[in-house]
Every structure is written in structure tokens, then in C-alpha cells.
Structure 1
């Protein structure tokens, strides 16, 4: 019975992959066999990795299944937009799988991660300074470094160090640090991360870092006064920024009423809403929509493009996948004893949850739009590799706990 239950999710992924890429193949004229090659490569990588997780008992198999389903959906849409994007993303997926294994084994068998908090902070600051010094500006954000013709986002590495840093500060021998003076010190370090992102005009990542910190502070600190102080300071800074920084004011006014300037500042969000509405509940079908009308359909607005062709039900399925991922991550954390691994698993899960919420909420006009990638779905090597490194760490933590027999495989 257990074996049949385990086989069902991977069978669903295989079915979605085969049907979606066959539809893409027959949609294009002349027929493009590259589409089938891309689908086949994804399927082989997914089945091999899933098989290794099951055979070698590498932890919670559902984490990878959920991630691979998200990758498959994203890859279908990228190939739909431009098969060259799909080819590039397959390469990043392969590197991401390698990074997943590397992160898994390194994190699982090295046990002094909680003692390297100053290294995490120092390397992060160096990467920030390096980005400011030699970085290139793309879409208004100076958050990229050009290496051998490829643009790399150092902040995707910093995200991982940030989680490790917060986990080290909140747990272990640092438990006594959860007093107001020491909390102010931790808050100051978080402020350093946030200020650098502010200088790079990365509003989405700035919110992501702050929300992750607030969530972990709420979990680990009994002093709710300090939590309230952080939230109050955030509200004050946000209000001041909305009135003094023109680009923030434009984003907020566009969020309130994008129809006032539909051909300029409101163009992105209105096209996103038009696409979602035109898809209806069931979508227009793969290959039958007009994602080329959506700005940045391969990155920031890929959720809108998916909703147009797969419908609101397709978008809801993606949200459900993220919710299940968050559930699995929180379940792992709850069943862990107090310590560094528990904080890391919570940090990774919380960051994935907020990242998905910020970008999906932005493209459906629930919150002001900020440029940030949709985990495992948006195009881009830095984001995909970083996501798989985080997944590998979470997988290693689940394997440690599963070895102790604390996590129910059901």
C-alpha cells in the first residue's frame, strides 16, 4: 500500500510532463523536436533524482516531488514562450540538481554550521560590496555581476547565508542572546542586509529578508515588545519611503489604481490582470494564449502567463503546491528537537513561503508589485540553483530526523 502511494505523485509528474510537452510539440509549425528533447531531459533528471532519494533513503521524498512539479510547469511555459529559454533552463536545472546533491551531503555530514555566523555575515557583506563595485544594472536594480558572459545574482547566495546567520543567532549557545540588548545587535545586522538591498533597489528581496527575520523573531523570542518595535520601525520607514522616494511612491500609486496610467506605469500590472481574466477558470489552453503581451512573462509575470493558458485552477494548483511544500517543511521543523537544524528548516520554509506570496500577490494586485522570482518556476540560473541548494539543505535535515525515526513517512 505504501509503495503505491509513493508511486502516485511521480506518475502524476510524468503524466503532466508528457502531455504538456506533446501539446507544445504539436502546437508549433514546423514541428520543433527540441521541445520533446527538453521534456525528455527534464523527465529523466526528475526520475533519476527521485529514484536516488527513494533507494538511498535521502529524506522526505515529497519535497523534491513538489519542486520538480513546479520546475516542470515553469519549463513548459518557458518553452511555450521561446524554446531557447527552455534549453537554457534545462542546463540550469541540471546544475541545480548537482547543487542539490552537493548541498545535501555537505550539510548532512558537516556539523559545525552554527559556529560560522560571522563567516556568513562577512561573506555576505563582501558580496554586497562586490555587487556595488562591479555590478551591472538590469531593470533598474544593480544586483547582477557579469561572469564569463553570464549574469549572476550574488544575493541568491546571500539568501542562504542570511538564513544560516539568523539560525545561528537564534539557537544553540546563542540562546542567551535573546535579550533586548543582544536582540538590538541582531536587528542591526539584519539592518545591514536590508540597507544593502535598498541601495540595490531590490524592494522585493528587502521585504523577503525582513519578513523572514520577523517570522523567526516571533518564533524564537518571547519578548513581543521587541517584535512590535521592529514592525513599528518597518511601518515608519515604509511610510517615509512612500512619501520621499519617487519610485516607491509610483509603485504604490500604481497598485492603488493602475488604470490611471495604463500605457506607462500601470502597463505591467494591467496586462497581467487582463491575461489572468482572459484565461478564466480552465485557461485558453497551452499554446493558445498571448503571453507575448505580458511584460517579463518569463520571470516576474510567469504566474500570469500560466494562469492565462492553464486557468485560475492551474494557478490555484501552483499555490497549492507551495502550500504543501510549506506544510512539509514546517512538519520537519516541528518534529525536530530544539537546535540549529530546526531554525534552518524554519528559515528555508518561511523564505520560500514569503517569496511565493510576494510575487504572486504582486502580479494579482493583492500587494504592490516588486520584482522577485517565483521559486522553481521563473527563468534564471541564479534563482533556480539557490532554490535547489536550499532544498538540498532541507532534504538533509529531513534525512537526519528520519534516521532517528521521528518523521512519519505518511
Structure 2
């Protein structure tokens, strides 16, 4: 599907140089020349370089998506390591684990058939994870979406994201057997309802946006789509009146300056950091990103702009746009109905997640508690993002076009319209 050439190796070399120079600057700033720091620099650069080279050898699909993500990871780790070397080292470990998960997911999804037959399994697993979160979950920043086990914590919703996309893809692939848009909507809103109960409204909005995109593409009843959009608007209004932390975020979005030392402190510090960076930034180690609470997770974009400049911030946005473009291209060229929807869903998930957090830290929209994919510090979010990327890699090369197999979704829709 995608052409490969020897010249494609040039970006890997540029990325290798970028990591070596940038991480060396961070080491100079932190005055850390111990074996651990040197191991972080060499381990990260070699992992990024080799992972992309290996992908060129084993995959006939789109080899640009991992390269794009590698660039994002480089910027994220450089910034996190500058803010806190210990967290930077942990992020490198998470990245290496994420690369392993990427390849493991790639081979598992590629080798195991009949993913479109397991719709009920996806619903069941999601229900189990939701119930586990409600029973064993811990409340962090107003949302009960973490499970802690022996000092380690993870967010089950990160796994549910992939199950949710697989469920939608399985439903629309097999809609000729059990098409019922009302039952579909009930299951989708049950997912969103669980997230409301957990007070994880950022994820609830993300799930809804992914659903409405896929629903808009594959549902013929436009009135029903508008009805869903109206229902979602009413749920948003209800969330504002039911949850105090939602009202706080809306109020700080409208006017953070009136409480600059209180609830508006985080967003105002983010805006100060962005304005301080200018076009080229203050330079690595010369800014004050630690003035922003939770800067390594929710506000990593603001920290990058402060020390690397608005131009680097624009580059981050462009990387996301290119990743979304590649994902949509994969979806359009994929001839297997299931993987076409999966690639659209995963691309929408990553794109909307980036938009929600980028819009939040720049005060374009109210801030929500989700991370910036591939740049923010975190374990479960990063690993599941790499799992999603591995699935997208399979979709970029897996073209299913057997006349003896089931009809494609487009054929089903054309037959229904006729």
C-alpha cells in the first residue's frame, strides 16, 4: 500500500542526531553524567532508531506513523527529563515497554482472525473493567478512574478505549445480522454513563466524539444522528450542574484571572509559560515549567513551548495533523470493513484526545484531565496508545478483498439503499 525507499532512512538519522544533542543539553543542565543518565541517552536513541529500522524490514504498511510518534516521544521525554530526571528515566522505561507492546499488538492482531466476530466479548470485557473501576478504583483529582495494585496504578479506561472502537467496528461490520441503532446507542451511552459515574468527563467526551464520527459515516438516518447530538448536549449541561469540579473548570475557562492564586492558578501559569516562550523559546533549562502544577502530565505542551518556542509547539500540532492524515488515509485505502472502521476509530481517538488537551492548556476549551498522547508522562496511557498504534499499523497493510468472504460495508449500504 505504501512505497518504501532507501531515502526514507534519512529521517531516522535526523531523529538520532536530535535525541543525542537534546538529551546531552539536558544532561549538562542537570549536571548529571552518571552511568544512569548516559544509559538513558543511549538507550532512548538506540531504541527509537532500531524500532523504526525493524519496522521497515517486517511491515509492508505505513512506516511513517511510528516515525511520527517517535518524534513526539523524543520531545516529550526530553522535556520530562529536563523537569525531573527521575520521571524522565521512568518515561524511557515506559517508552521501551510501549515499543514492545506495539510490536506484540502488531503480531497478535495480524495473526489472529475473526476480530469482527467478537462483539459481545468486547462489551463484556468493557463491563468488567468498568465495574472493577467502580469497586476498586481510587479517586484522583475528582475522578474515580485509577486502580492501584501493590503500589502500581493504571487506568482501565485506556483498555476500554480500544475495546470500544473494536465494538463499534464489529457492530457495523455485521449490521446485516443484528442491526438495531437503538440498542447500539444504549450500549454506547452505557459506556458514557459509567464514565459519568466515575466523574471522568474528559474520557466521556472522547468516547462520544469517536462514536459520533463513526456513526455519522456509517449511519443513514441523519435525524437519529442529530437526536444523538442533542442528547449529548443535554448530558453536557447536566454534567455542569451535577458535578462541582466541572463548574470550576468552566468558570476558570471563562475567567481564570479573577482567581489567579486559587483555582485559576494552573491555567494562568500555562498561559504565562506559553507567552514567555516566544518564537524560539527560552532554551532548555532556562524556563520555569515547574511553576505549573502537574506540568509533566496535563501541561507538557505548555512546558515545551516555554523552553523550545512556539515554532516547536506548531511542529507538535503539525505532527498530530500528519498522524491523523496518515490514519484517515489508511482508513480510506483499507478494503476490509472491520479494519477500515478500526483505523478510523483509533485515528479519531488520538486526534480528539490531542485536540481536547491542547485546547485546554491554551484556554480554547475548558480543561479536562486527559493526557497528550505520546508526549505526557504516564504509563497506562502511553502503553495503550502504542497498542492502538500497533493495530493501526496492521490496518495499513492488511487488505482483505476476497470475493468469497462477507460483503464489505459499502456493499451492504448500497444494497440497503437500493
What TM-score does the superposition give when structure 1 sets the normalisation length? 0.94
Q: Please name the residue that 2:249 is paired with.
A: 251
Please say which of residues 82-91 and 364-373 is displaced more in the overlay. Answer: 82-91
* Structure 1 Cα separation of the partners of residues 356 and 230 of structure 2: 20
Compute the displacement of 1:259 (Å).
0.6
Return closer, same or farther for 1:49/1:30 CA change in 2, 3 Å cut-off: closer
Partner secondary structure for residue 144 of structure 1: strand
Q: Please name the residue that 1:408 is paired with.
A: none
Compute the displacement of 1:36 (Å).
3.1
Compute the displacement of 1:2 (Å).
6.2
Partner secondary structure for residue 366 of structure 2: coil
Compute the displacement of 1:317 (Å).
0.5
Q: Quick one: which of 47, 50, 53 aligns to 1:48? A: 50
Q: Please name the residue that 1:309 is paired with.
A: 307
Equivalent residue runs for 1:270-281 within 5 Å: 270-281=268-279
Q: Quick one: which of 160, 168, 171 aligns to 2:170? A: 168
Return closer, same or farther for 1:71/1:175 CA change in 2, 3 Å cut-off: farther
Compute the displacement of 1:399 (Å).
2.2
Contact kept in structure 2, 1:136 and 1:144, CA below 8 Å: yes
Contact kept in structure 2, 1:38 and 1:87, CA below 8 Å: yes
Report whether the alignment pairs 1:210 with 2:221. Answer: no
Report whether the alignment pairs 1:348 with 2:346. Answer: yes
Equivalent residue runs for 1:30-49 within 5 Å: 31-49=33-51
Q: Please name the residue that 1:132 is paired with.
A: 134
Contact kept in structure 2, 1:169 and 1:175, CA below 8 Å: no
Compute the displacement of 1:247 (Å).
2.1
Q: Please name the residue that 1:291 is paired with.
A: 289
Q: Please name the residue that 2:413 is paired with.
A: none
* Structure 1 Cα separation of the partners of residues 178 and 348 of structure 2: 22
* Structure 2 Cα separation of the partners of residues 304 and 32 of structure 1: 29
* Structure 2 Cα separation of the partners of residues 147 and 155 of structure 1: 16
Partner secondary structure for residue 355 of structure 2: helix
Contact kept in structure 2, 1:177 and 1:183, CA below 8 Å: no
What are the ranges of 5 or more consecutive residues in structure 2 without an aligned counterpart? 403-418
Q: Please name the residue that 1:319 is paired with.
A: 317
Q: Quick one: which of 141, 144, 148 aligns to 1:142? A: 144
What are the ranges of 5 or more consecutive residues in structure 1 without an aligned counterpart? 405-410
* Structure 1 Cα separation of the partners of residues 184 and 387 of structure 2: 25
Partner secondary structure for residue 209 of structure 1: helix
Q: Please name the residue that 2:185 is paired with.
A: 187
Q: Quick one: which of 89, 92, 97 aligns to 1:90? A: 92
Q: Please name the residue that 2:124 is paired with.
A: 122
Contact kept in structure 1, 2:335 and 2:400, CA below 8 Å: no
* Structure 2 Cα separation of the partners of residues 317 and 4 of structure 1: 25
